[in-house]
Every structure is written in structure tokens, then in C-alpha cells.
Amino acid sequence: MQSIPQMAEVFKLLGDKSRLSILALLKEKSLCVCEIVEIMGLSQPNVSQHMRKLKDGGLVTETRKGQWIYYSLSIEDKPYLQEVFRHLPSQKEKVDALNCSDDCCV
């Protein structure tokens, strides 16, 4: 079980619209930074900064596939977040509409 200060830090991460949106996307499937950039319309450095914070906060994990790093949601150890995530609006249409090119993630 996490302490109040630990939970407060996690909720601070969720308090940012971009990070919450990224987590909602990752709820659908693992994505690389270039896919998140395409969906959200943010710059690659901006998305990378958010991903670093989410990884440092223990909310995402990364897996290398070739030269690409894919991020996945990692909240199994945070049951209080599982309930929050049940209420996030689906981002399936956005993820399904990805048009990743050959030089990105494929």
C-alpha cells in the first residue's frame, strides 16, 4: 500500500491534461513517442518530457523493440488508480486511426 505522500505525487502527475490524455491512450495499447506525438499534436520533446515524468512516477514502463521504445501503462500495483482509469473516456478511435509511417515505429 502506498503512503499519502506517494499517492499525492501520483495524483499530481494525473493533474496535467497532457499526461492524463497520454495515460488514457496507453490504456488502449502500448505506443511509442512518435505515435503519441501524432495523436496528440504535441512536439516530440514535449511528449518525451511527459513520458519521463510518467516513467519516474511508476505509471508507465518501457520496452525496446528494435530502435523504438514502446510505453505501456503500469498501474497494477496501484488499485486506487484502476478505479480512476475505468472512468477515463475511451481513446480507441484515436489509437485505431494512427497513420504511422515506415520510419516511425514500424
* CATH number assigned to the domain covering 4-87: 1.10.10.10
Query: Which pLDDT does position 104 carry in this prediction?
Result: 63
Query: Which pLDDT does position 1 carry in this prediction?
Result: 79
Cell reading at 61: 514502463
pLDDT digits (tens, 9 = 90+) for 46-98: 999 999 999 999 999 999 998 889 999 999 999 999 889 999 999 999 999 99
Query: Which pLDDT does position 106 carry in this prediction?
Result: 54
Q: What is the DSSP letter of 106?
A: -
Cell reading at 86: 475505468
Q: Are 38 and 23 in contact (CB under 8 A)?
A: no
Q: Can you give the pTM of this predicted structure?
A: 0.91
Query: Which pLDDT does position 100 carry in this prediction?
Result: 65
